Each structure stands twice: as structure tokens, then as C-alpha cells.
Amino acid sequence: MKEESVKCKVCAEVIPTAARKCSHCGSFQNWPAYFPLTESILALLIALVSVVSLAIPIIQSALEPDDSSITLTYIDRADISIPLIASNKGSRPGVMDSIAGLKIITGTKGDVATQTHLLLTIAVNGSRLDLFIPENTSKQFFFFVNPEQYAPDVFEKLANDLQSINSVRQCTLTVGYLDFSGKKRRVDLVIFDADAIRSVPSREKTDSEVVGRILGALECIGKIPYHVRQQYKLPLG
């Protein structure tokens, strides 16, 4: 049986129909025949992939906001300091406020009516340089309740509303910082929340959890300087 034949797509010499490569000129008869510069095209593709790989970080940087990105975390410590960590994962620095507000909410268990007392706290070493938060950096700050409050009767009102340590419902530190773009931001960090602890079913409570609740309330009042607590007959801890 005579083998069927066709002409080469490049040199027009007769070759078998099933031939994938011309025996005369060496040209491929399948898809590479339409791309005579296969090696050059392959090199161009490799170069294109390399350029795209290098461009991806640049594109990501262009899409991400060119600003600071700060998160604040309260550190639990049983002393008069109020420490926190500021982590800036952004591409620009930010600045922490030198003043923060310690909000103490008092009230009787089960009573809807509560009283809010706002105490001003000051960052130690609160110079502009100390409050600076560079990009891709974590920094620790310490705030202390100022004995000299703008409202001089704030401690007296707190003492009047604080019937016992169990009257402390919640302690929250409101901290502010400035983004590189100039936008002012505020974050509430809960130091103590009696209602959140009470939400645990009683059958699942342990002695350590009950003690932790008492220590948490004492820790909240314990942020006030000792001589001020002594003067206004607040719990001394």
C-alpha cells in the first residue's frame, strides 16, 4: 500500500503525511511550524515573566495606602502604670497622644443606672520624639493617672459612687494617635469588665476566676496614685 504524502510547509519537498518534522529542511510540521523563531519567543516569555515578578511588589505597594497602620494592645499589670504596646505595620510613622482617658464606670449589680468617671492619664516621657512610632516598629508606652485633674472633684465623685470594690463595672483606657496622613484615631482598650466575667455560667466558674474578678476591679482602682486613694478613702488594694 502506497504511503500517503504531503508537501513540507516550509521547503515544499514531499514528506509522509504523518511526519512531524521534514527530513529535508528539518522544519516541524505541527504548531512550531508557524513560529520559526521558537527559541527567541521562549526567551521573550521568560523575560516577560521576570519583569512581571519584579513588578508585583511595586504594584502591591501602589495599591496599599501610603500611611501608618497602628494597633494598640493593653498589657495586664497590677501596678499604677497603664502599659500598652503600639505596633505600626504601615509604610509611614505615626504619633501617640501624650494624654489618654481612663474611664471608670460604677454601679450596683443588676442596676441599669451607672455613673461614668473620666480620669486623665499622661504618658511618661511624653516628648514628641518619645511618642513617635516609626513604620514597621512596635513600641511600649506607659500612662499614669494624673493626680492634678482638670475637674478637681472627679476623685471625690468617684469615692461617693464607689460603695465597694464590687461597684466597679468597667475600666476602659481611651487612647488616641495621629496617622501620617494627619487623621486622628481613638481606640478603647478594656482593662476590666465585670459584666463580661459574670457572663460565664456559674457552674463553669472556678475559684481562680472569682479571685481574678476581684483582682481586676482592684487593679482598675489601683491605677490611681496611692496617696490620692488614701486621701479620698478609695480602696487601697
pLDDT of 19 > 70? The answer is yes
Pair type for strands 99-106 and 184-193:
unpaired
Per-residue pLDDT tens digits for 151-181: 889 999 999 988 788 888 899 999 999 998 8
Q: Cell match 459584666: residue?
A: 195
Mean pLDDT of 174-193: 92
| Higher-scoring residue by pLDDT: 171, 41 | 171
Q: Which CATH code for domain 70-231?
A: 2.60.40
How far CA 168 is from CA of 61, 132, 140, 144, 163, in Å, comes to 47, 34, 27, 19, 9
* pTM of structure: 0.66
**Which residue intervals of the chain bear CATH 2.60.40?**
70-231
